[in-house]
Amino acid sequence: MTRTEEFSSKVRRIQNEIDVIRGNGTSHGIQMTVSPTGRILGLEIPPHAYDLSPRALSDHIASAHASAYSDANERARNVRAELAEDPRVRRILTET
């Protein structure tokens, strides 16, 4: 395998790892799961949350989303760190 093929394989493997990352967040019992791009993949709203005002419910949903998105981004950042440490990427980053 050439170095270019090896690097391409590494990039594909890292992207595949990022693609399966899920972030989780909770607010007032509302649980949300998102992708690293913030796409909502799961939302669980407990019965007691329906007693909240519409504004409070939406605020808690938004808070759960923000927490889940932050979690997913942190996980993705940890996976991307391997790529950022590659000497070929470092060279490119220092040239720009």
pLDDT digits (tens, 9 = 90+) for 4-50: 888 889 899 999 999 999 999 999 999 999 999 999 999 999 999 99
Rounded-to-integer distance, Cα 34 and Cα 7, Å: 29
pLDDT digits (tens, 9 = 90+) for 55-84: 999 999 999 999 999 999 999 999 999 888
**Residue position matching structure tokens 């938004």:** 62
Q: For residue 57, what pLDDT is reported?
A: 98
- pLDDT band at 94; cut points 50, 70, 90: confident
Cα-only R_g, the chain: 18
Torsion region of 27: left, alpha or beta (phi above 0 gives left; psi -120 to 50 gives alpha): beta
Query: With contact defined as beta carbons under 8 Å apart, do 28 and 57 qualify?
Result: no
- pLDDT for 96 beyond 90: no
What's the order of all strands across the beta sheet hosting 30-34? 23-27, 30-34, 40-44
